A and B are shown apart, each in its own frame.
Chain A
Amino acid sequence: MAGIFDYTPAIALLPLASFLIALFLGPRMPKKGALAGILATAGSLILSVATLVTLAGPAEPYHQQLYTFVTGAGDAVSLSFGILIDPLSALMLVIVSLIAFLVHVFSLGYMNDEGEIGLPRYYAGLGLFTFSMLSFVFADNLLMAFMFFELVGLCSFLLIGFWFREEGPPSGAKKAFLVTRFGDYFFLIGVVAIFATFGTTAFAGDHSFIHMAEQAVLGDGGSEITTFFGLGPQAWFTVLGLLVLGGVLGKSAQFPLHTWLPDAMEGPTPVSALIHAATMVAAGVYLVARMYGFYALSPTALAVIALIGGFTALFAATMGVVKQELKQVLAYSTISQYGYMMLALGGGGYVAAVFHLTTHAVFKALLFLGAGSVIIAMHHNENMWDMGGLKDRMRVTYLTFLSGSLALAGIVPFAGFWSKDEVLFETLIHGLGEAGGTSQPLLLLGFAMGLLAVFFTGFYTFRMVFLTFHGDPRTDTARDPEPVRWNVKFPLAVLGVGAAVVGFVNMGLLKDVLGDSILYLHTWLDGGVEGMNAHHYADVLHEAAGYSAASLSPFVSGAVSLGLAVLGVLVAWRLYGGADPDPHMERLGSARTLLMNNYYQDEFQVWLAQGVTVPIANAANTFDQVVVDGVVNGVSTVSLFAGQRVRRIQSGVVTNYAMLLTIAFVILLAFFALIGGWF
C-alpha cells in the first residue's frame, strides 16, 4: 500500500479540478457544478482516509519535494512546493475533506433548492477554497504554507461576498480580507526573516528551520543561523514566532484581530460552516501546531499565545451572551473556541489543541449547518426571538443541533467536553508546574479566563437552543417552517453522530482509570517524523521553555469545568426554558449595550483608521507635497529664473563672444598670476 502516498497531491488537485469545472462548465451542468464539487471532495475524502489508514499502519511519514520554482546559486535558498504527510497533516486532511464534502452536499439544499443565482461562481469558490486549505495543510515549508494561507483568505473574500448585490456581504468580505491581510503582513515579514535566519523554511527534516532552531537553543549547533539586532538565538526566535503569530491572530480571529469574523456571517451559511470549522479560521491554529517545535523553544511566545487565547475565549464568550441572531452567537462561539486552542498551544498542550481542533471542526460545522437548516425553515430570518418551538417541527435538525450544542457547551460525554477539559487541564498543570522555581502566573491567568468562559459557553449555547427550538413559536413562520430535504439532513446526521462520539478518541480524563492506551489521538500524534511529534514537543517544552507538569488528578479540573458548564446550561434553562421567555438580557442595561456593540471594538478600529491613520497619512501627504516636492520645484524655479537672466549674454554678435572669451582669459591669467605669486 505504499503507493497511496503517490496519490496525495490528488487530494488537493481534485477540488482544484472541480473549481475549474464549475467555473467554466458550471452553467451548462445539472446542479450548476455542485456534482463536480461533491465528487471531487468525496474523492479527496476517500484518499485522505486511505492516507490516514496507511499512515496508521507500518508506513513511514511521507515527505516529497514536488516542484522547485526558484533555485539559488550553490546551496543558497531554494523555493519549492512539497508534500509532508505526517500524523498531524493526515488527520487535518481528513477533517478538511470531510467537512468540505458535507458542506458541498448541504449546499444542494441551501443554495440550489432555494433557487439562488450565480451558483457556478459559488461552487467554484468552494472548490478553490477546499483546494487552498488542503494544500496549506500538507505544505512542507513555510513559504508554500504562506501562499496557500493567502489563497484561503482570498477565497473567503470571494465567498463571504457572494451576495455582492446586497449591502452587508461586500462590506463583510472586504473587512475579512483587510483584517486578515493586516495580520498576514506580519506573517510575511516573519517568513522573510526566517529565510534570512535559517536559509530554509522547510518544516521537516534535519535541515528544517525548526530543527536548526532547536539545535541553536538546546544543542551544540547554531553556527548556520544568523540572528539580527544583536539578539541571542532564543530572543530572536521569539521575535520570529511573534511575527508569524500575527498571521495566526488574523486568520484564527484572535483578539485584537477578531472583528472580521462576526461580519463574515453575511456570507452563505454553508460557507460560514466551512470557514469556521475546517478552513480559514482553522488555518491559523493549524499553523502554530505545524511549527510547534519552533514555538516550544520560546517561553515568551508561548505565554503570549496562552494569554491571547485565554483572553479571547472569555472576551468572545461574553459577547455571545447577548446576541440575537443565531449565526452571530455561533460566530462568537467560534472565536471563543479558537481561543481555547490557542490557550492549549500556549499552555503546552499540543495534543489538547489538535484534539480540540478536531472536535470543534465536527461540532461547529454541525452547528452552522443546523443553523443553515433553521434559516431555510425560517425563510432566511436569523433572529432567534422570531423562532421558538422548532423542536417538534424539525426533529432531525433539533436532535443534531442539540448534539452539537452539548459538545460546544462541554457536557459529558459529547466531543467538546473531552477536548475542552484536556485544554484546561494541560494549561493548569503546566501553569502550576515549577518553571525556574516559580509557577507560571501567565498560564494560570489564561487558565482562569478559559475556565470562566466555560460557564458563558454553556449559557449562550443553551440560550440559543432554548430560544430557537423550545417554548412556543413566536411568529407565523416558526409555526409553519419550510421543510428541509435529505441533502440537509444527511450532513447533519453524519456530523451529529460525530459530535457525540469523536471525543472518545482521547479521553484524557479517564486515563488514570483505563490506562494510557485509550489516548488514541495522543498515541497517533506521538508517531510520525522524528522531532515533529507530541513526545518530542514535550521534551523541548521542558528543556527550552522550562515547562513542567504538576501532578494533579484530571478529575479535579474536569469536575470544575463540567460543573461550570452545567451551571451555565441551568441558568440558561432557568431564564429561557419557559414557554414564552422574556428578553432577560435587557436587564443588563448599559452592560448589554456594551456587549451588543462588541466592546466598541469595531468603532475603535474605525477610529484607529479614521482618527489616527488618516491624519498621519494626511500629514505624510502634506510633507510630501510641501517639503519634498517643494525642494524639487524650488530647484527648477531657481534654474528657470537664472537661465532667463543669464541667456541675455547670448547676443548673437560674434564680437561680444570674443570679448567675453578675452575677458575671461585675462581674469584667469590674473587669478593664476596672483596664486603663483607673480606680483
Chain B
Amino acid sequence: MAVLPEYYLLLSAAVFCIGLFGILTRRNALFFLMSVELMLNAGNINLVAFSLYYSNLTGQVFALFTMALAAAEVAIGIGIILVLYRNFGDIDVTEAVTMRW
C-alpha cells in the first residue's frame, strides 16, 4: 500500500483531460466514442481508488456497474454512428449540423 491517493487522482484527472481534449478537437465520431470511454474510466479510477482508500467495496461494485453502462452506451453510440453514416455518407460530427436554428 505504498501508492498515495493523490497519484490515483492525478492519473484520473490526466485520463479525463485526455478524453475531454479528444472530444473538443476530434471530428471523427469514433474518436468521440473512445474519448467518452476515457472520461468514464477516469471516473472509474476515482471510484476504485477511494474504495481502496476507505477499505469499502461499494466503490468497486459501482465501477463494475459503470463499465456495464459504458458497454451499453457504446452499443447505442455505434448505432448512432451507423445512422450518421447512412444519412450523411460520413461520420464527421461537424458535417451533421441540420439540427439547429
Contact = CB atoms under 8 A, between A and B. Distances in A.
Interface stretch (A15-23, A342-350, A653-661): A653-661
Interface in A612-665: 647-648, 650-655, 658-659, 662
| Chain B interface residue number, banded | 10 to 19
Given A658-B23, A662-B20, A662-B24, A653 B101 contact: no
Contact of A652 (B23, B24, B25, B97): B97
Nearest to A651: B100
Given A647-B101, A648-B101, A654 B20 contact: no
Interface string B5-49: 000000000000000100111010000100000000000000000
B2 interface: no
Contacts of B93: 653-655
Nearest to B23: A658
Interface in B52-101: 93-94, 96-101
B100 to A, nearest CB: 3
A282 B20 CA distance: 92
Contact of B97 (A648, A653, A659): A653
| Chain A interface residue number, banded | 10 to 19
A122 to B, nearest CB: 71
A655 B23 contact: yes
A648 B23 CA distance: 21
A404 B99 CA distance: 93
A652 B96 contact: yes
Given A655-B93, A655-B94, A650 B100 contact: yes
A652 B98 contact: yes
B24 A655 contact: yes
Contact of A651 (B24, B25, B97): B97
Contacts of A648: 101
Contacts of B94: 653, 655
A641 to B, nearest CB: 15
A300 B11 CA distance: 94
A658 to B, nearest CB: 5
Contacts of B96: 652, 654
B101 A650 contact: yes
Nearest to B35: A658
A648 B97 CA distance: 13
A244 to B, nearest CB: 65
Contacts of A653: 93-94, 97
B100 A654 contact: no
Contacts of B27: 655
Interface of A is mostly: helix
A659 B24 CA distance: 6
Contacts of B101: 647-648, 650
Contacts of A654: 32, 93, 96
Contact of B99 (A652, A655, A658, A659): A652
Contacts of B23: 655, 658
Name the residue in B25, B99, B101 with the highest tally of chain A Cβ atoms < 10 Å from its Cβ: B101
Contacts of B32: 654
Contacts of A647: 101
A15 B20 CA distance: 92
A654 B25 CA distance: 11
Contacts of B20: 662
A609 to B, nearest CB: 55
A650 B97 CA distance: 10
A658 B96 CA distance: 15
Contacts of B25: 655
B67 to A, nearest CB: 23
Nearest to B32: A654
Interface string A76-119: 00000000000000000000000000000000000000000000
A362 to B, nearest CB: 86
A655 B32 CA distance: 10
Nearest to A643: B101
A659 B32 CA distance: 13
Contacts of A662: 20, 24
A655 B27 CA distance: 8
A652 B84 CA distance: 14
B12 to A, nearest CB: 16
A17 B94 CA distance: 85
A650 B32 CA distance: 20
A185 B43 CA distance: 75
A21 to B, nearest CB: 72
Name the residue in A651, A654, A662 with the highest tally of chain B Cβ atoms < 10 Å from its Cβ: A654
B24 A658 contact: yes
B66 to A, nearest CB: 20
Given A654-B93, A655-B94, A659-B24, 11 more contacts: A648-B101, A652-B97, A652-B99, A652-B100, A654-B32, A655-B23, A655-B25, A655-B27, A658-B23, A662-B20, A662-B24
Shortest Cβ-Cβ A-B pairs, 7 listed: A652-B100, A652-B97, A647-B101, A654-B93, A658-B23, A650-B101, A650-B100
14 contacts: A648-B101, A650-B100, A651-B97, A652-B96, A653-B93, A654-B32, A654-B96, A655-B23, A655-B27, A655-B93, A655-B94, A658-B23, A659-B24, A662-B20
